[in-house]
Amino acid sequence: MTTKEPVTEPFVERQHGLDLLREMLRIRRFEEKAVELYSIGKIRGFLHVYIGEEACAVGAMRALTPEDNIVATYREHGQALARGIPMGSLMAEMFGKANGCSHGHGGSMHFFDKPRRFFGGYAIVGGGLPIAVGLALADKLQKRRALTACFFGDGAVAEGEFHESLNLAALWELPVLFLCENNLYAMGTALERHQSQTDISLKAQAYGIASEAADGMDAIAVESAAQRAAGTVRQTGRPFLLELRTYRFRAHSTADPDLYRTKDEIERWKKRDPITMFEARLREMRLLADADLTSLEARIGAEINEAVALAEAGSWEPIEALSKDVYTT
């Protein structure tokens, strides 16, 4: 079904709420640190931060099991952390160190982690969707009971591979959970300037795929929508398109002057900051006290410091190893 308006959800019990908050905060603080480290040249290349969108990865990831596969984009710090890849190996990767999750070969855009079935951040927009379809096909053929979660942005919806992949996944009845993080912009191009039909979840009908749209600024809404969606995929073995309506608070990347949207618009959205909103709700419900938050921040701060220390301590891959992993043999 397609719901244009986000479904509103009953609220949660304490531990659950604190877990969601902690995961969102870990991402927020990690990326704030990354931006700082980028500015002093410790991190290079492209850096696409997820700040403002944390509820999407955190909420969605809770619907997945360790057996499920994940395909992400170049804006994947959030997905990687929410999936449980140690912060240190991510930070080391962004430093380009050998102890990074991709041995320094990938950087911010290309996190990989085999033990956690994290099949990578893909930097060609739309390029991850066919990979996800193939992973799901492999599972189906091997009778593995797992689904493949495929993250992509609203901009990817315009690419031909979106169309081809949804058709193939539906045609072959493959367990793919398509997760569209619709932050209303593809770089500087607003949704209404790249989509003739701006309701992305509605596009699923063209493939006979079930879909839903959820409030991507609300971790609880995302989580329960993801639970429903993942449930459907597991039950039916068919794909599902879940659109998460969210917003990017920072520029597209460290290279983006952000000229294409008004400060107003950004400020309006910041009023819906997934973390502060969620904090407020927890407080209202008396599920969160100042002390909790302080200790939470403290623990996260410590984790980040360790991560940076680990990255700093990491060694560089020897130059002789340059061509090591081009071929397996």
Partner 1 sequence: MQAKKMTYREAIRSALRLALKSDPRVFLMGEDVGRYGGAFAVSLGLLEEFGPERIRDTPLSESTFVGAGIGAALGGMRPIVEIMTVNFSLLALDQILNNAATLRHMSGGQYSVPLVVRMATGGGRQLAAQHSHSLEGWYAHIPGIKVLAPATVEDARAMLLAALEEPDPVFIFEHATLYPLEGEIDETAGPVDISKAAVRKPGSAVTLITYGGSLPKTLQAAQELLKEGIDPEVVDLRTLRPLDAATILSSVKKTHRAVVIDEAWRTGSFAAEISAQIMEGAFDDLDAPVARVCSAEVPMPYAKHLEEAALPRVETIVSAVKRMF
Ligand X SMILES: Cc1ncc(C[n+]2csc(CCOP(=O)(O)OP(=O)(O)O)c2C)c(N)n1
**Binding-site partner at residue 243 among ligand X, partner 1, Mg ion, none, CB < 5 to 8 Å by type:** none
User: What are the φ and ψ backbone dihedral angles of 71, each rounded to 5 degrees?
Assistant: -120, 125
Quick one: 22 or 163, whose CB is closer to its own copies? 163
DSSP H helices in the chain: 14-39, 54-61, 77-83, 87-95, 128-141, 160-171, 191-194, 219-236, 263-270, 274-284, 290-313
Q: Of 205-224, which residues contact its own copies (CB under 8 A)?
A: 205-209
**Binding-site partner at residue 114 among its own copies, Mg ion, partner 1, none, CB < 5 to 8 Å by type:** partner 1
128-132 LR contacts (CB < 8 Å, sep 24+)? 128/71, 128/72, 128/73, 128/152, 129/71, 129/156, 129/161, 129/162, 129/164, 129/165, 129/166, 129/178, 130/161, 130/164, 130/165, 130/168, 131/71, 132/69, 132/71, 132/165, 132/176, 132/178
Site string for Mg ion, 147-186 (x = CB under 5 A): ------xxx---------------------------x-x-
Q: Does 164 bind its own copies (CB under 8 A)?
A: yes
Quick one: 38 or 185, whose CB is closer to its own copies? 185
**Binding-site partner at residue 227 among Mg ion, ligand X, partner 1, none, CB < 5 to 8 Å by type:** none
Q: With CA atoms as reference, report the closest residue to 133 among 110, 166, 160.
A: 166
Q: Is 103 helix (H, G, I), strand (E, B) or coil?
A: coil
Q: Rounded to the nearest whole angstrom, what is the least distance from the CB of residue 164 to ligand X in the complex?
A: 11
**Binding-site partner at residue 75 among ligand X, partner 1, its own copies, none, CB < 5 to 8 Å by type:** ligand X
Site string for partner 1, 98-117 (x = CB under 8 A): --xxxxxxxx-xx-xxx---
Residues contributing to the site for ligand X (CB under 6 A) = 75, 123-125, 153-156, 181, 183, 185-187, 252
Binding-site ranges for its own copies (CB under 8 A):
158-164, 166-168, 170-171, 193-197, 202-203, 205-209
